[in-house]
Amino acid sequence: MNTTMHKLVVAMGTVVMAGGAWALDNATASASADVLTPISIAKNTDMAFGSLVIGNGLVTLSTAGARTKAGTTALPTSGTSPAAAKFTVTGTGANTFSIDTTGSDSTLTDGSSNTMAITWLVEAQSGTAAASGITSAGNNSTTGTLASGTATIYGGGLLTVGAAQVAGAYTGNLKITVAYN
């Protein structure tokens, strides 16, 4: 009987071990990816400070295109009208993006050795909303948000007209780079 009992215990152990093998389970996770339309930026309007004269001092062109001066000499009202720069950003949905002005000129130049120092002003608005009129570099936008795939960036600046500024046509570039966050 001892041999029979031994066979019975071995058989039961085999059944228990086989039953344990059936206790394995698995699960499956799905994988997904959202491919965004590449973000892009296009210039709509160039920036213009308009006509300036010695004595205007620090001239501010707000991101809404309003112009003021710190000096005692009045700003000329004839000539080129002041205008803020305007850029359209396009991408996907309501994603956020970074704004970088690295590579922008730090001076406007007349093509020779005459320059005027400039500090850029940048404001981002979702969709096609109008600029609020930033007048301080401390309020510059460093990020923006798309609304239905669109945002608008406005550019202005703080331009220093020197006390002995040489007359001429001065130019420079505001370079804006955008990237999804």
CA distances from 100 to 116, 139, 152 (A): 22, 14, 14
The pTM of this model reads 0.84
In the chain, the domains with their CATH numbers are 40-180 (2.60.40)
Q: Can you say how many angstroms the Cα of residue 174 is from the centroid of all Cα atoms in its chain?
A: 14
- Kindly write down the DSSP assignment for every residue of 85-138, as one continuous string: EEEEEE-STT-EEEEE-TT--SEEE-SSS-EEEEEEEEEEEETTPPP-----GG
Instruction: Dump pLDDT digits (tens) for 37-94.
Output: 999 999 999 999 999 999 999 999 999 999 999 999 999 999 889 999 999 999 999 9
